[in-house]
A and B are shown apart, each in its own frame.
Chain A
Amino acid sequence: MAEQLLEQVRDVVDGQIDFEGQRLAELIANVALSVSGIIAFLVGFYLQDIKLAVWIALGGTILTFIVVVPPWPFFNRNPVKWLPVGGSAPRVQPVNLVLEEKITI
Chain B
Amino acid sequence: MLSGMANPRQAAAQLMNFGLIVSTAFMMWKGLSVITDSPSPIVVVLSGSMEPAFQRGDLLFLWNRNIFSETSVGEIVVYNVKDKDIPIVHRVVRKFGTGSKAKLLTKGDNNLSDDTELYARGQDYLVRKDIIGSVVGFIPFVGYVTIMLSEHPWLKPVMLGMMGLVVVLQRE
Please determine whether chains A and B interact with each other in the same assembly: yes
By a beta-carbon cutoff of 8 Å, the part of chain A in contact with chain B is 6, 9-10, 13-14, 105
Q: How many A-B residue pairs have CB under 8 A?
A: 11
A7 (CB) vs chain B CBs: closest residue? B171
Chain B residues lying within 8 Å of A10, measured Cβ to Cβ, are 169-171
Please report which residues of chain B, range 115-172, place their CB below 8 angstroms from some CB of chain A when the two chains form the complex.
Answer: 169-171
Chain A residues lying within 8 Å of B171, measured Cβ to Cβ, are 10, 14
A105 (CB) vs chain B CBs: closest residue? B1
How many residues on B have C-beta within 8 angstroms of the other chain's C-beta atoms? 4
Residue contacts A-B, CB under 8 angstroms, 11 given: A6-B169, A9-B169, A10-B169, A10-B170, A10-B171, A13-B169, A13-B170, A14-B169, A14-B170, A14-B171, A105-B1
Most buried by A among B1, B169, B170: B169
Most buried by B among A9, A13, A14, A105: A13
Chain B residues lying within 8 Å of A14, measured Cβ to Cβ, are 169-171
B165 (CB) vs chain A CBs: closest residue? A13
- The main secondary structure of chain B at its interface with chain A is loop
Query: Bound state CA distance, A105 and B1, in angstroms?
Result: 9
Query: Bound state CA distance, A35 and B170, in angstroms?
Result: 32
Query: Bound state CA distance, A5 and B171, in angstroms?
Result: 14
A9 (CB) vs chain B CBs: closest residue? B169
A12 (CB) vs chain B CBs: closest residue? B169
Query: Bound state CA distance, A14 and B169, in angstroms?
Result: 8
Chain A residues lying within 8 Å of B1, measured Cβ to Cβ, are 105
Query: Bound state CA distance, A1 and B1, in angstroms?
Result: 29
Query: Bound state CA distance, A2 and B123, in angstroms?
Result: 68
Query: Bound state CA distance, A105 and B169, in angstroms?
Result: 16
Query: Bound state CA distance, A9 and B170, in angstroms?
Result: 10
Chain B residues lying within 8 Å of A105, measured Cβ to Cβ, are 1
Query: Bound state CA distance, A105 and B170, in angstroms?
Result: 13
